[in-house]
């Protein structure tokens, strides 16, 4: 018997994490979606498109929840310019049509920065209309994780 094969992950393509607890009422449920972010339009579209944020907006992910976290993984902190380009892409007409934004009531902006929901952790927030589920809107906090080079 090969122990290493028994210990290896069985489902390596799944990138989201769901956390929930029924010890508190109302129940706590939080879904994280991780996307590697590179500085090109294909990577940005994966982040906000059908394989990313749209899964939440269309109530495929976190369908009974009003809140989720998108996590952009960048190679290291020197790649932070790609986050600026992501925010720019999220402000585009294409993204606006796809993501059904709820503008910030105070500013009218779709990308809310700095984050109000998680001010010490998240880069920015976005809120979106939903057509199904118990909540009319969905709020994202967008975190960015930079991984340093290995020694």
Where are the chain's structural domains?
A: 15-146
CB 87 within 8 A of CB 111: yes
Other C-beta atoms lying within 10 Å of the C-beta of residue 43: 17
Q: Which of 87, 84, 124 is nearest to 104 (CA)?
A: 124
Q: Which of 16-25, 62-71, 91-100 has the lowest mean pLDDT?
A: 16-25
Q: pTM of the predicted model, to two decimals?
A: 0.83
Mean pLDDT over each residue of the chain, to the nearest integer: 86
Cα(144)–Cα(71) distance, rounded to whole angstroms? 6
pLDDT (tens digit, 9 = 90+) per residue, 96-131?
Answer: 999 999 999 999 999 999 999 999 999 999 999 998
pLDDT at position 12: 43
pLDDT band for position 56 (cuts 50, 70, 90) = very high
């Amino acid at each position: 018997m090969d122990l290493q094969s028994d210990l290896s992950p069985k489902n390596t393509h799944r990138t989201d994490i769901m956390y929930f607890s029924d010890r508190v009422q109302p129940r706590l449920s939080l879904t994280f979606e991780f996307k590697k972010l590179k500085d090109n339009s294909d990577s940005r579209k994966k982040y906000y498109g059908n394989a990313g944020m749209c899964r939440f907006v269309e109530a495929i992910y976190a369908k009974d929840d009003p809140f989720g976290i998108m996590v952009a993984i960048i190679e290291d902190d020197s790649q932070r310019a790609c986050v600026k380009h992501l925010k720019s892409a999220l402000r585009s007409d294409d993204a606006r049509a796809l993501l059904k934004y709820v503008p910030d009531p105070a500013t009218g902006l779709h990308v809310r920065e700095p984050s109000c929901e998680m001010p010490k952790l998240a880069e920015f927030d976005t809120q979106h209309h939903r057509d199904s589920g118990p909540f009319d809107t969905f709020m994202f906090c967008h975190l960015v994780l930079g991984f340093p080079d290995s020694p």
